[in-house]
Structure 1
Amino acid sequence: MEGKRDPYAGMADVYDGMARDRQVREAYRYWRELLLQCASERKLEIRTLVDLMCGTGNTTIPWTRRAGWRVIGVDRSAALLRVARAKSDRVRWYRQDVRRLRLRERADAVTCHFDALNHILEPGEMQEAFRRVARVLRPGGLFLFDLSTAAWFRWLDGRDKVSRVGRNFLMASNFYDPKSRIVLFTQHWFVPRGRLYERRTIAVRERAYPVAEIRAMARAAGFRVLRAEPQWTIGGKAVRRVFVLERRAQDPFPPRVHC
């Protein structure tokens, strides 16, 4: 994960507009249906849901349609949260870093989507994020998230892309270091401003985590792995994998009250 600088400052409107993409909308629907299916299988009644690294709230807000649910959105980007807050006042929005997550509420379900956890570059910090989520979840609660894989980063390596996204144009480049398993994404967006285009640039890094490493972190944090399955594949290789974890019944992390 990048440092204190907000890489999405000045990019929130562009980022939010990507939710109109058909494949993105299908992913939202798949994740929602999967969580509800797993909750039904485990006979889990969800009353409080926390959506981590929620961006502009596109994965968060649909849950407010569920009667009786309390929905919480968490992101470290002030720019993205400003857009989210303007879109819904039915969500409790918090600006926090998942690696230092501290909530008063305990949740029945936690979600984190669109490979957001790949932005955590250090395994020790990823382990801490898992521990923080475990503290938020009630025993028996579910944690659903997805991760991009090394196969995806290898496929992207060196591939430049020029495309149109709505009214905007995108030029993207990707460079992957297999030794560190870190990829650098650089995107130049051209956004119409009158008769001209304004260029906005964002560069972020992500790290690939092997399934075995994620399983070990989950167990160490107090989770049972229910699912670790491909969501998207290219050439028979998983490029995005979805995980569903269950907070074990024993409670090694008693709830804490934070001001």
Structure 2
Amino acid sequence: MSPRPEADDGYGAPYSALAQVYDRWMAADRVPYDQWLSFAKRRFAESGLEVRSVLDVCCGTGMTIKALQDHGYEVTGVDASAPMLDIARTRTAPGTELLCLAVPDERLAELGPFDAALVCFDGVNYLTGGDALTATLHQLARALRPGGVLVFDLSTRRAFEEIAALGEFGEDFGDFAYIWKTRHKPDTPAYEYLVSLFVPEGELFRRSVEQHAQRHFTRDEVGNALRATGFTDIAVSDDYTEREATDTTRRETWSARRTIGSTPR
């Protein structure tokens, strides 16, 4: 979903243009929102808490918010992209709190307290700064009530390498088209994606180019960051299932709980 809204070298901010076609693209890719919700609900039930309030970070166009609301949860959404949030407002329940924040942001810690928090669909992979992961987890811990549940996913090194191996690729959906180009910084976990989007404008197509920066993390990096920021009951599985994450896993799903005692300040 949506990262820090920065443009570089004249490129558009992430999801500034993609917002208008994002749902169409995700529908074509059959993104399994229902599977994500079912997994999160299992983790909520296992916690023993009565989970009612949920913070959805990197909420994008509000698909996960709507799914949660349809199941009776009270949801607050956070995203860095104002265009994505504009679409979320048309989908979510009237009065839903939707905040334009680019994590990490200290204002995140001031929200709540929530019973649970979600960061779905590679949102954490956009935390490319040296301490961005730890800072964001620390803020999420402070936004959760004691014992509160955190669920998030991460694309793995294997997934990044598979995408990079494709080089430049694209697809024509009829009502829009895109070209995707991957750039990898050698000997680092950092990747950049240049996404050229073509949408109809009269008899022609308008081209917009966005630059997206992501990175992968080792399991040790993630586990250590969770423990350092006040989380316990840490678990990782394969792509929103109960299967063990392995070296072939392309998306890891992490869950943890905020410690009952004090949270590191």
TM-score in terms of structure 1 length:
0.88
The counterpart of 2:102, out of the listed 87, 97, 102, is: 97
Match of 1:23 among 30, 33, 39: 30
Aligned to 2:61: 56
| Map 1:158-169 → 2, pairs under 5 A | 158-159=165-166, 160-165=168-173, 167-169=175-177
SS at match of 2:118: strand
**Cα distance change on mapping 1:216 and 1:178 into 2, 3 Å:** farther
Q: 1:225 Cα shift?
A: 4.2
Write out per-residue CA displacement over residues 215-254 of structure 1, whole angstroms, 9 at most, x where no aligned residue: 0000000001432122199x96111111011111112258
Q: Does 1:9 align with 2:16?
A: yes
After superposition, residues 137-152 of structure 1 pair within 5 angstroms as 137-152=144-159
- Give secondary structure in 1 for the equivalent of 2:170: strand
What is the match of residue 10 of structure 2?
none
CA contact (8 A) 2:76 2:98 kept: yes
Percent identity reads 26
**Residue among 24, 46, 58 paired with 1:41:** 46
Tell me the equivalent position of 1:87.
91
Q: Give the corresponding residue for 1:220.
A: 228
Q: Is the 8 A contact 1:215 1:225 kept in 2?
A: no
Contact 1:140-1:247 within 8 A present in 2 as well: yes
1:145-184 map, 5 Å = 145-159=152-166, 160-165=168-173, 167-184=175-192
What is the deviation of 1:19?
3.0
Of 252, 255, 261, which aligns to 1:241?
252
**Structure 2 alignment gaps of length 5 or more:** 8-12
The total of aligned residue pairs comes to: 250
Shift of 1:3: 6.1
Which residue of structure 1 lines up, in the alignment, with residue 135 of structure 2?
128
Query: Amino acid of the residue matched to residue 25 of structure 2?
Result: M
CA 1:2/1:39 → structure 2, altered by over 3 Å: closer, same or farther?
closer
Who is 1:115 aligned against?
Answer: 122
SS at match of 1:39: helix
SS at match of 2:257: strand
CA distance in 2, matches of 1:139, 1:175: 41
SS at match of 2:112: coil
Corresponding residue SS for 1:54: coil
* Structure 1 unmatched runs, 5+: 255-259
Cα 1:85–1:225 change in 2 (3 A) is: same
The CA RMSD measured in Å over matched residues stands at 2.2
For the residue of structure 2 that corresponds to 1:123, the secondary structure is: coil
Q: Contact (CA 8 Å) 2:4, 2:80: kept in 1 or not?
A: no
Give the SS at the match of 1:99: coil
Q: 1:171 to 1:7 in 2, by over 3 A?
A: same
Aligned to 1:230: 238
- Look up the match of 1:192: 200
Range with greater deviation from structure 2 (102-111 or 156-165)? 156-165
Q: Deviations over 1:83-115 (max 9, x none)?
A: 211222252111112211243421011001110
For 2:83 and 2:124, locate their aligned partners in 1 and report how far apart those are by CA, in whole Å.
19
Amino acid at match of 1:52: V
